[in-house]
Amino acid sequence: MPSLDVRPSGGCRISSPWIDLAFERRPVPWIRGIVRWNQRQLLADQAVLAGARNVPPGVAMPLRGSEYSHFAHEYESSEIPPQPAAKSIEERVPPDLLWLFRRAWQSTRGPFEGYVNASMRKATEKGAEGYTKLVIALIDRCFASDGADIHYNSILDTADLISLEQYKIDTPIR
């Protein structure tokens, strides 16, 4: 996505994993924005809220289907049922996906990836309202400021804007 390389003087610029927004009030009003709906960002946010410490800051990059399948298979083959491995699962699977995988139905009776896909749909349903409220709060924060350059890297940075407890998805997500 293109970046918003503008520096408004009487408006605001906000950058975050959820929205990039810049606007100017005068002399001629203008606004530019990029709003991201990113399921992987939702997972990264939830992993951070659950206490994961190794979630990279900034925008979570969506995975290709083959990458997602690889990580799901990696998790399934070593965790359902648990098998000894040379490297821990935390070293082999990103923390946001671990958050999802650990909350999906765990069974050898069907393909794990199917259970994970169902859990991702549920997480999306549960998280959509909070994600939307977060984006609106970021827009409101920008409009309320005057000449500010605001930057957020993590969901924890937004605690002054939204209730993180309300944004947090209750688990399990089945």
pLDDT at site 1: 47
Residue 97 reports pLDDT greater than 70: yes
Domain around 130: 1-163
Q: What is the pLDDT of residues 72-81, one digit of tens each?
A: 999 999 998 8
- Separation of alpha carbons 96 and 89, rounded Å: 12
Give the residue-averaged pLDDT of 97-126: 91
User: Domain tally for the chain?
Assistant: 1
pLDDT at site 99: 97
Q: Is 30 exposed, middle or buried (0-12, 13-18, 19+ CB in 10 A)?
A: exposed
Helix residue ranges per DSSP H, 59-111: 65-79, 89-92, 95-103
The reply to whether 74 falls in a domain is yes
The reply to whether 50 falls in a domain is yes
Locate 163 and state its tokens: 């209730």
Mean pLDDT over each residue of the chain, to the nearest integer: 90
The reply to whether 173 falls in a domain is no
Q: Using an 8 Å Cβ cutoff, are 32 and 4 in contact?
A: yes
| Percent residues over pLDDT 70 in the chain | 94
pLDDT at site 89: 94
Q: What residues does 150 pair with on adjacent strands?
A: 14
The reply to whether 90 falls in a domain is yes
Residues 6+ apart with CB under 8 A from 71: 63, 92, 93, 94, 97, 101
Q: Using an 8 Å Cβ cutoff, are 133 and 18 in contact?
A: no
The reply to whether 168 falls in a domain is no
Q: What is the pLDDT of residues 121-172, one digit of tens each?
A: 999 999 999 999 999 999 999 989 877 899 999 999 999 999 999 999 987 7
Q: pTM for the whole thing?
A: 0.89
The dihedrals phi and psi of 3, each to the nearest 5 degrees, come to -90, 160
Residue 23 reports pLDDT greater than 60: yes
